[in-house]
A and B are shown apart, each in its own frame.
Chain A
């Protein structure tokens, strides 16, 4: 009964994460293609609240197509990492849906989820720095900016990654125990 519930919930989560794979690249496109609209609306406050751009960046120059394209390119790297994270989460819950809980494949998926979370946490401050550089690339001379900040968000992601790694080790031990049990006559 418990396993059936796990299978049912995992099936829903599998589709949820599969669908969520489309969100990061779409969000990146919406942010950068309509950058002038966002900046005219509230000076970029809503974008910084969403975590798309660092806060308080003075965009003084014209917003050109090149700037938008470069910004999109810079943002597609972490978006790709998020897509990979959602892909492995979807695969993990797909395996759980099939009842493959303590298996090498599911443990591997969990490890990759942890790895992508950790890489995302490392990449995030550098992404912020590059976004700042892109946003201020058309500013008057002497007003270009590059900021490298370490906020609570990447630290939280790194901590989550470590917890996921620990859980994957525990799951691997569980897999070994299950294998021993299956091969006990």
Chain B
């Protein structure tokens, strides 16, 4: 095995690092927690302006396909707000893979320039893990589709330009087969957005669709092929677009605090820290493996499930022990005097539980591993 990035990728990484140094200021990190929007438009525009988004986007970029992993890993380790970028690039990649030429021309440039964000309408109030059972309907009416229903957890809907929307188009087909994915502008008439405030400060949304009318040009992938479009998106999400090294900035913040307060020499703390650092290495190696599989032309769906289960639980372990070790200081929030890790210890204890839920719960991922890797019978 070879673990060295090629010199071109090292150069790419160094460019990202210099952009991070310039654009990911404490003010920007602070803004994500006060606005609840995990996105930094100025950072996206700079990455777009320099051609980095195009280069990193799977299928589009001319660079080493491992660069997408490198970019998100750098952003995540730096504690940058990158959720908006991750979803947007994921969708750009899917449009590039499954979209028509017209869709590619119309949609992709707005994303890889760093201007447009995308939100995802999959889950509904009653259908989360069982997303194939969703009820939002799209019915053909002449040349148009009429969409009615509602979605939950439509994160970034309040700022996104595009929406991808999973709908039911055929009631007679089995549940996975009667679905169609659409991609449409968020300013299409009939869409309503209401905020949902969350424990981890991110503001997500509930969205409603009342007689939303779109043309065939809004169908992403095949009619009744929505499940395939969906799994293509998820294969990217569970793979390499961040979400696997969230403990790195936490450990850094905790360490600074513990040293400054003279409590870092405690052997228990040092050992826990060392073990969390092992976890972070393993998490990044598993992520790198997904990136390498994708770079070799494979689809790292199963490996993505494995990475996510491990990385998320490693982050949760790190969050648990750092807060427990900090004691009262671990309860204090951002900007409070004496807050452990400048408030990150408290924040990560609120943010980490979200990670084993969104983008596929750890249970769904374990089902996936049990069935597809271990060959055990379907349990549901």
Q: Do A and B bind each other?
A: no
Query: Chain A: residues with CB nearer than 8 A to chain B?
Result: none
